[in-house]
């Protein structure tokens, strides 16, 4: 299941997974955008900030394919600007989508992923906290904070869920050339140096899924790594 499949990175990850024969559940907020992906799979529309959406996504995947073997959380929002100016509504938006929603999804998917493990498969969850979880960045303080919180949650939860046979994998690529920074929920993006190609980041994440890697720090996205 790819959550946020219509986003720049989610679309690339879904494309990579489909090319390797994965049976996909693709989620997003707009059915037309999901249809426009042109990627084979079952589509489900929902807002990850709404109560019950995570459970509905998981149920849809299981009812369609009989089991759920993996989840990729690729939804996200960003905000720019000084820490002294960020509003409560922006803080809430960053937290709800970048941190609370993936935490809720992991909780909701755990029973299905445990059943996958018990059936002899290798279930996983991928989150994308990004390089700001390693190097909190001025002008991105709130965004850095919620992504750092996500990374901390994955570190702790992975120790719990590995006992159930579930692998959590957090990816922390550097700035990636998606459209995320062009529609922030606050502020305006600074002039970033050229970032990573979304196709490269997606291929590296899928490679890590296949190789049963347990962590993807920023250095793992060096072209020479």
At 185, the pLDDT band (50, 70, 90 cuts) reads very high
DSSP type of residue 176: B
Q: What pLDDT score was predicted for residue 188?
A: 92
Q: Give the residue-averaged pLDDT of 179-189.
A: 93
- Round to whole Å and give the CA distance between 116 and 41: 19
CA 114 to chain CA centroid, Å, is 20
- Round to whole Å and give the CA distance between 90 and 143: 10
- Round to whole Å and give the CA distance between 108 and 56: 9
Q: Give the residue-averaged pLDDT of 59-70.
A: 97
- Round to whole Å and give the CA distance between 3 and 128: 12
Radius of gyration, alpha carbons of the chain: 17
- Round to whole Å and give the CA distance between 194 and 106: 33
Mean pLDDT of the chain: 96
Candidate from 43-47, 125-129, 192-196, 207-211 with smallest mean pLDDT? 192-196
Helix or strand or coil: residue 185?
Answer: coil
Query: What domains can be seen in the chain, in order of their start residue?
Result: 2-221 (3.40.50.720)
Q: What pLDDT score was predicted for residue 31?
A: 97
The per-type count for the chain, helices as H runs and strands as E runs, is 7, 6
Q: What pLDDT score was predicted for residue 225?
A: 56
- Round to whole Å and give the CA distance between 93 and 146: 10
- Kindly tell me if the per-residue pLDDT of 223 is higher than 80: no
Model's pTM, two decimal places?
A: 0.96
Q: What pLDDT score was predicted for residue 192?
A: 86
pLDDT in tens, 113-155: 999 999 999 999 999 999 999 999 999 999 999 999 999 999 9
pLDDT > 90: what percent of the chain? 94
b/e sequence 2-36, b meaning 16+ C-beta within 10 Å: bbbbbbbbbbbbbbbbbeeebebbbbbeeeeebee
Helix or strand or coil: residue 158?
Answer: helix
At 39, the pLDDT band (50, 70, 90 cuts) reads very high
Per DSSP bridges, beta strands 124-128 and 70-73 are: parallel
Q: Give the residue-averaged pLDDT of 60-65.
A: 97
Q: At what angle do helices 101-118 and 141-161 cross, to 10 degrees?
A: 20
Per DSSP bridges, beta strands 70-73 and 2-3 are: parallel
Which residues, listed in sequence order, are joined to residue 127 by a DSSP beta bridge? 170
What's the length of the chain?
225
Angle at 153 between CA 141 and CA 109, to 5 degrees: 125
- Kindly tell me if the per-residue pLDDT of 45 is higher than 70: yes
Q: What pLDDT score was predicted for residue 224?
A: 64
pLDDT in tens, 82-121: 999 999 999 999 999 999 999 999 999 999 999 999 999 9
């Amino acid at each position: 299941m790819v959550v946020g499949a219509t986003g720049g990175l989610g679309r690339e990850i879904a494309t990579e997974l489909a090319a390797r024969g994965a049976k996909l559940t693709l989620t997003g907020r707009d059915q037309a955008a999901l249809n426009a992906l042109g990627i084979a799979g079952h589509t489900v529309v929902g807002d990850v900030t709404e109560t019950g959406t995570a459970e509905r996504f998981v149920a849809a995947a299981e009812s369609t394919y009989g089991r759920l073997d993996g989840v990729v959380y690729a939804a996200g929002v960003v905000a720019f600007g000084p820490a002294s100016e960020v509003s409560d509504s922006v803080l809430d938006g960053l937290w709800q989508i970048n941190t609370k929603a993936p935490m809720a999804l992991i909780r909701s998917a755990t029973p299905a992923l445990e059943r996958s493990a018990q059936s002899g498969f290798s279930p996983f969850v991928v989150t994308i906290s990004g390089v700001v979880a390693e190097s909190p960045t001025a002008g991105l303080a709130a965004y850095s904070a919620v992504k750092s919180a996500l990374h901390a949650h994955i570190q702790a939860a992975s120790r719990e869920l590995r006992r159930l046979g579930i692998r959590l994998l957090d990816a922390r690529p550097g700035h990636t050339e998606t459209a995320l920074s062009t529609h922030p929920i606050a502020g305006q993006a600074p002039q970033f140096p050229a970032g990573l190609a979304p196709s490269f980041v997606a291929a590296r994440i899928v490679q890590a899924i296949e190789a049963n890697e347990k962590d993807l720090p920023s250095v793992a996205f060096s072209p020479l790594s």
